[in-house]
Every structure is written in C-alpha cells, then in structure tokens.
Amino acid sequence: MHRDLALSQSLIYAANGLAYSPAISEPEGQSYAAHSFSVASQQIQFRVAKTTPTKPGHFVTLWRRSQHRPIRPFQLSDQVELFVVCVRHKGQFGQFVFRWETLQQHGIVAASNSAGKRAFRVYPPWSEEMTPSGLNKQAKASQDWQLASFLPIDEATGSDPARTKSLYLG
C-alpha cells in the first residue's frame, strides 16, 4: 500500500471517525497509486499525483479501461462520488477531495457536454513556489477552483476535522 494512502487512512479517515472499506489496488494505475474504496459509503478513486520537473503543480491520470479495452475518462455510470488526489512537495502534504460535480463542471470527467480528460494538473497552495516565474494565467485559473477542494495534512497532527468532514461528507 502506498504511504499516502496509509496516512490517509490513519490521519484522516480513522482519526475523524470516517468508516472506510479496504482499498483495492488498480494494477494499471500503479504508477499513480490508483486504488478504489469507500469512505462513509461514498465510492472513491484514489491517486497520488507526480511532481514534474518543468512545470509547476502536479500531474495525475484519471481514467478507466472500457469494455473494448481503450482507456477513457470516468463517466457517471462508473458511480464514483469522490476523487482523492494526494500531493507532496518539499515537506508539504495534502490532498484534493474532488466531488464528481466539481470535475464535471470543469470538463475532467465525461458528461453530456464534455468528453472528459484522462489526465490533468493539480495546483496546491505551494505551486507558485515550484517555479521562478510562478503560475501562468491558465494554471492560476485552475488553482482557483481546485483550492476549494484542498485539504492540508500535517503528518504529526493530521487534518482539520471540520474541513475534513466538509470535504468528505459534503
């Protein structure tokens, strides 16, 4: 099990009384620590984003293999309610807890008005420090909507209980 998933279970779910099911590894998404499980009866897709050397923010894939074998963006029929994306950089740690509706609104998951995406960048609060030039206009616009779903995590003390419950329970 990936360290960030284990920390999520102990510092976030268990510490805040959120019941969770055993995580099921998704071998094709191993490089992003892809797992599926539920928290408080909500289906979750879990990923760990990667830091890339030339751009600020972190990169994450978010796809499922179709019956006909090509990969595709998540669809409503996949019945995923939350997408959790962990991020780290120079001792900072946190996770985005995206609701389906949020990712649909921004064209990340497939919907009647959008084909969706198989990958995207996330921009935690520290993203501007990751490059001398800061964030470009598009990255800043993405960060603006993404930060509403961001949960800072301290490995010693965990996460703010009110913020945690707000993000996970709605």
DSSP 63-120: EEE-TTSSEEE--GGG---EEEEEEEETTEEEEEEEEHHHHHHTTSS-BTTB---SEE
User: What pLDDT shows up at residue 14?
Assistant: 97
Task: Say which residue the tokens 């807890």 belong to.
Answer: 97
Q: Is the CB of residue 72 less than 8 Å from the CB of residue 66?
A: yes
pLDDT tens digits, one per residue of 4-27: 999 999 999 999 999 999 999 998
pTM for the predicted model, two decimal places: 0.94
Is the domain covering 3-169 a CATH 3.40.1350.140 domain? yes
Q: Are strands 92-99 and 71-73 parallel, antiparallel or unpaired?
A: unpaired
pLDDT tens digits, one per residue of 118-170: 999 999 999 877 777 778 999 999 999 999 999 999 999 999 999 999 999 98
Q: Are strands 82-89 and 42-48 parallel, antiparallel or unpaired?
A: parallel
Q: What is the mean pLDDT of residues 78-99?
A: 96
